[in-house]
Structure 1
């Protein structure tokens, strides 16, 4: 999640999936509109993806898995579910409700899900408060064993937006104690003093604060680059994020994690007696 665009949210989701793949069967759900998302280009999916999932019949595990594209990483392969159609195809109508994506994960049989959200967190919470409705942010946080990962660029403007979002999360009673904060550096060198100060303050409220170092190859090529070209310190930061996510989940829900609840199956059609 993030308060604004340009927060390295998709990059963090990608690196987190790389690291989680060593521990669990992992999938990334791309929730952004196709023409605003980097995932179709990163995934190299020829066509289909989410568009191949039927909307008028129950999903099967084989069909759900077939809609995903496999990403290869040193830690292990993982899957991506995105809209990989041509740019001129009509936009898909995807569900907003996090519970629908939870059902999709259960249908596919994945153990770990990284949801690359597209909504601005603070605005979402404030709009929900003013309208008296349930926010997407709260709905995601209420899913079983969820760990929010809040991303922000390691700049003065980035941490200001992050701190504002954290204040809103705190006011709404959302689980900051199991939230992992990732500060993505935009240049080499030590983070600015304002970023270091913000990280110190956030470390008291959040489960962990992780600094993601600047990686010139990621900046130049995105995550289309070969995994081997990603710097070792970037990989180390990704492992720290994954370890923080798992530690927050274990601290909040138990170690080992109990079995996740299964969504209720659709009722079978009643066949008349012959």
Structure 2
């Protein structure tokens, strides 16, 4: 039983143009040719065409469909891989659409006189947003010889991941973070803490490892809105700086550390915007390294005041 291209199209509920398209791309080979050179298809072509159309309905690309059809021995695995690839692509497309939707809502809610500046601000951010500029900012700000493992651990804490379903306020906060971290500093360089220059690469790596431990201890206290107080988290915080400066945790060092920290450059605005990006709508503010560091500094001040 052989059918012409028109007969196959009729049985499949497709158009002749569709059948010819798949046939020309090798997905639907003809069983034979008529004396006049016209394609003839067998019953297996009908099932193959139905499968092709089903896979196309799911959005699978033609190369992926070709691999599913050609590798009969591993068709299940190939199909599973193709579906997984398509799901990842759809996830990225959905994130981009949600980000665009939130950005459009932001523009709609903005006063008319501010829309031009807002459009320039959010237009500089790729969709879906990319965190690479924020990571580059921190790589330039941190010590150049910082070990890769310590650098990666800090970047994981310091670089906020954009939410999959953002609110307009989160879109605006991320756009401002992007603008802040890509703008050149007036003097061509970013001010860095004194401890970066006073300590070697090994000491700085130990400092950030110790700070990460202190932040982990203090994080639950911030989530419970506890007032700053001396304790295990502050001890870990002071010990991290003491190791970087080659000192011991003494009462004198705590007073010296408080004075040094007060004179260090601050990145308060960065952490404020990071908190907005990370905090879900209607949720409690998420502790950031900046807010946690502020809590620990306040605990240090309270400890020094109590000792005095």
Q: Above 0.5 in TM-score?
A: no
User: TM-score, normalised to structure 2's length?
Assistant: 0.20
Q: Look at both structures and tell me which one has the larger radius of gyration over its CA atoms.
A: 2
Higher strand proportion (structure 1 or 2): 1
Structure having greater relative contact order (Cα 8 Å, sep ≥ 6): 1
Higher helix proportion (structure 1 or 2): 2
